[in-house]
Amino acid sequence: MNDFRQPLSSASYGGSLSQAARNKVLRNTYWLLAVSLVPTVLGAMVGVSTGFNQIMGASPGMTAIFFLVGAFGLMFAIERNKNSSLGIALLLAFTFFMGLMLSRLLGFVLGMGNGAQLIMLAFGGTAAVFGTMATVASTTKRDFSGMQKFLFIGVVILIVASLANLFLQLPALMLTVSVMAIGIFSALLLVDLQRIINGGETNYISATLAVYLDLYNIFSNLLMLLGIFGGDRE
């Protein structure tokens, strides 16, 4: 159950920030995003090495509740403290938590003969999506802000479908959700990056949180599809 993100910012693209201020927000966002990958990796390593991923697999219902409460609770705390250094600490704690929750999927994939290759392929695919969306966001003159409401509705549908599939256990629904999630969060990544570049987002902690969630969901769902269709189970 990886398909979620924070509520979209209501800031408009016609921000009054100077170009220097916009560049500073973008630079700090990229810097903090890179740093946030460290606790994500650490959280994933802890989850796999301690067997926490197996505990989550044994109780998917409780895992989903723990995930939603922990994730949304930390996101709320980050937004409340986004103008202080505590916000950075909370963001890093959040990314550790997300890495811990990702360990269930990673453990499943690593159990395959080509698991490490699939993880690297998913990482490379996510990086390619990020590079493409960052290029489009910084070069196009088209305003993508109008997509926000539709994409947010799409995220809500993904969450509902993911929760429903905990009980239905339909492989076709799981595949559909993963494919839709990659498309929706790729589009959200474009919207979020353009908002930052154009000065619609003035806080780099909030900006980092939004972009991180987009990338996290792209990576996790891409890895899930690769594990299903490209995994070596011998």
Tally of domains in the chain: 1
- 101-118 pLDDT tens trace: 999 999 999 988 888 999
Nearest of 43, 19, 31 to residue 207 by alpha carbon: 31
The answer to whether residue 8 sits within a structural domain is no
Range of the structural domain that residue 139 is part of: 19-230
Residue 231 confidence (pLDDT): 67
Alpha helices, DSSP H only, in 140-203? 148-168, 171-197
The answer to whether residue 71 sits within a structural domain is yes
The answer to whether residue 145 sits within a structural domain is yes
Residue 22 has a CB neighbour count (10 Å cut-off) of: 18
Name, in order, each residue with C-beta under 8 angstroms of 6's C-beta and a sequence gap of 6 or more: 75, 79, 209, 210, 213
Which pTM was predicted? 0.90
Residues 223/182, Cβ–Cβ less than 8 Å: no
- 127-177 pLDDT tens trace: 999 999 999 999 988 888 888 889 999 999 999 998 888 888 888 999 999
**Could you tell me which residue, 191 or 20, shows the higher pLDDT?**
191
Query: Rounded CA gap, 165 and 1, in Å?
Result: 9
The answer to whether residue 1 sits within a structural domain is no
